Structure 1
Amino acid sequence: MIKVAIIGASGYTGGELVRLLLNHPNVEITEITSRKYDGIPIHKVHPHIRDSGLIFKDKKASKLNADIAFTATPHGASMHIVPELINEGMKVIDLSGDYRFKDTAVYEKWYDMEHISDLKAVYGLPEIYRKDIKNANLIANPGCFPTGAILATYPLIKEDLVERVIIDSKTGVSGAGISPTEATHYPTIADNVNPYKISSHRHMAEIQQELNGFKNVKVSFTPHLVPVIRGIQTTSHSILKDENIKSDDLKKLYEKTYKNEPFIKLLDNDETPHLSSVRGSNYAHIGGYEIDDTGRVIMLSAIDNLVKGASGQAIHNMNIMENFKEDEGLKYIGLNP
């Protein structure tokens, strides 16, 4: 049994961490922190989490009673908290963007703030970096868009089949966080598909970094906000270098790449991924494998942005770090309809 602290537990990702970890047989949640809700029972903020006995506390990192800390804190805040946690001997899984970039100058460009920490983290995408995750004491949990985009495209890049990738993603409103804004106001979202930061979303740099780590590939990315609560549907368009590649070849490649992955579900050729099929789960559904007459490969993925795109993936990382069964605490299938 390990002791776990969740720092910044009042947001959506913090609430998902609590929901999932309460059912983990090897975990005791000892601390949930929040400055704003200090002394408030968790169900007053997350009304679905009742009878847990958990109460928010405004507590310094040095005072936490935990073996592992999840930092579900805003970008820019984690870099001030994580070094103290590491110094206290805790392992840390950071759900912000503060430690995802190999080059801090890239972070500073896209997040428009100075990076003050010199700690290095392992990028926490288990399907690719499992061995590194196992021995790490600091994990940078991937962004939600990059998770769906990388998983849909990685086999193509790994085998050097394409040199150009265009990512089109549709995301639910929960990706914007728990605090309401003008952009996420119901009348703005309902009956609309709203592209935003159409060529300048910060997750493009993260996708580019990871895919470029395997082969030299150019990446373009545009997100769209759609009137659903959870989920990211990604369509990846890639131009093949070899016109002799066939759809069946792609299916076999993806099966080979992901054959032992507990949370990757590859769909048949006559199926497409649906958000409702993964809602509430840590699964990524991947399909497509189609090639049009111009040599364009179309691959599709669907994930729950709060689970596989955030908290569930963080728990998957914890399971690997602690040598637990990888699916422990994550054995939920999607909620459909």
Structure 2
Amino acid sequence: MISAGIVGGTGYTGVELLRLLASHPEVRVDCMTSRGAEGTAVADLFPSLRERIDLIFSGMDVDHLSRCDVVFFATPHGVALEMAGALLAADTRVIDLSADFRLPDTALLARWYGLTPPDEAVFKQAVYGLPEVNRKALRCARLVANPGCYPTAIQLGFLPLLEQGLIDPARLIASAASGASGAGRGAKIETLHCEVAENFHAYGATGHRHLPEIQIHLERVSRQRVGLTFVPHLAPMNRGIHATLFGFLREGISEAELNALYAARYVDEPFVQVLPLGQHPATASVRAANTCQLAIFRPQEGDTVVVLAVIDNLVKGAAGQAIQNMNLMFDLPETMGLEALPVTP
């Protein structure tokens, strides 16, 4: 049985980790930390976990966490950066759901997040946790950088086209919308019910901090410079991401051939579904599941290809993908603990 700890257990991502791990047959959650809820029973804060998680939130004790086989960080940026080294030294594996290790360049980390790694050797150990690209490396990883939610949907949408050199990598466009849970559980005016309900708006149009993560990892696939225009939006829903992606074709290829290309690329991927021709994915179709649904279109048979990608930002975009990575790290079936079907409605 794998002993797991979660740092930052009171946020949406932390409780999603708990929900999923509570049903994992090979994992026992032994430690949950929270600065604000220390001494509080998990079930008192989250009644949905009553009689499934019998834990009390504890303080940030590295010695206690180091007795776990794996520690998940569901924390604000900067926390894992400071603590990962001590845990790795104690032979505890680390999966970080923040952005601390997603960028391979420390200068970019400083520019976009204002962070500097205390130990660059630890920083360089991180493996980027997109299984559909890095599965082999993840099986040997000790420190995993779990991808962001927008980057997960956008990368899975563009990958087959870039791998085959079918689109111009210098002219990519991503317009993506997320539910309010993507902003975290902390109280903010912009995510109050009255601000989100009956409303839809863009933000970060001049440069969202997920942009360099997406560009860098797409460049590793395309082996060319990637030029990406990325505009995120806040949608009036609790959870989910819908990404509409645009690429410019370098050669003539039919919509049916494009769909077949995607189907072949993801045929062995347990958590990526390519929809039949003409169908449009919806966020409700993947709610609470570790699934990405994709659909491919070539409007008016022109030179533009449109890819639609949907995920649950808290599952495939965060906690579910983290558990998928954990399964790979511990040589477990990749789908273990993640077999639940989406919730409808």
TM-score normalized with structure 1 length: 0.97
What is the aligned partner in structure 2 of residue 13 from structure 1? 13
CA apart distance, 1:218: 1.2
Quick one: which of 77, 92, 112 aligns to 1:75?
Answer: 77
Gaps of 5+ in 1: none
Residue 114 (1) aligns with residue 116 (2): yes
Q: Secondary structure at the match of 2:334?
A: coil
Residue 264 (1) aligns with residue 272 (2): yes
What is the aligned partner in structure 1 of residue 341 from structure 2? 333
Deviations 1:43-88 (A, max 9, x none): 2322311122111000311222310111111101110111111111
CA apart distance, 1:191: 1.2
In structure 2, do the counterparts of structure 1 residues 2 and 126 end up closer, same or farther at CA, with 3 Å as the change threshold?
same
Q: Cα RMSD between the aligned structures?
A: 1.1
In 2, the alpha carbon distance for the partners of 1:63 and 1:49 equals: 23
Q: Secondary structure at the match of 2:310?
A: strand
In 2, the alpha carbon distance for the partners of 1:59 and 1:109 equals: 28
Residue 283 (1) aligns with residue 288 (2): no
Contact 1:152-1:236 within 8 A present in 2 as well:
yes
Quick one: which of 143, 150, 171 aligns to 2:148?
Answer: 143
In 1, the alpha carbon distance for the partners of 2:328 and 2:148 equals: 19
Q: Secondary structure at the match of 2:221?
A: coil
Q: Secondary structure at the match of 1:280?
A: coil
Aligned length, in residue pairs: 336
What is the aligned partner in structure 1 of residue 157 from structure 2? 152
In 1, the alpha carbon distance for the partners of 2:13 and 2:160 equals: 28
- The runs of at least 4 aligned residues of structure 1 exceeding 4 Å deviation read none
Single out whichever of 190-199 and 122-131 deviates more from structure 2. 190-199
The amino acid that maps onto 1:186 is H
Quick one: which of 302, 321, 326 aligns to 2:329?
Answer: 321
In 2, the alpha carbon distance for the partners of 1:107 and 1:196 equals: 21
Contact 1:175-1:306 within 8 A present in 2 as well:
yes
What is the aligned partner in structure 1 of residue 29 from structure 2? 29
What is the aligned partner in structure 2 of residue 54 from structure 1? 55
Residue 210 (1) aligns with residue 212 (2): no
- Written as runs of structure 1 = structure 2, the 5 A alignment for 1:86-235 is 86-118=88-120, 119=122, 120=124, 121-163=126-168, 164-215=171-222, 216=224, 217-235=226-244
Q: Secondary structure at the match of 1:233?
A: strand
Deviations 1:292-324 (A, max 9, x none): 454110000110000000000000000011111
Contact 2:256-2:277 within 8 A present in 1 as well:
no
The amino acid that maps onto 1:153 is F
Q: Secondary structure at the match of 1:234?
A: strand
Quick one: which of 236, 241, 248 aligns to 2:250?
Answer: 241
In 2, the alpha carbon distance for the partners of 1:149 and 1:14 equals: 23
CA apart distance, 1:92: 0.6
In 2, the alpha carbon distance for the partners of 1:43 and 1:201 equals: 36
Q: Percent identity?
A: 40
Q: Secondary structure at the match of 1:214?
A: helix
In structure 2, do the counterparts of structure 1 residues 315 and 182 end up closer, same or farther at CA, with 3 Å as the change threshold?
same
The amino acid that maps onto 2:238 is I
Single out whichever of 307-316 and 117-126 deviates more from structure 2. 117-126
Single out whichever of 24-33 and 35-44 deviates more from structure 2. 35-44
The amino acid that maps onto 2:316 is K
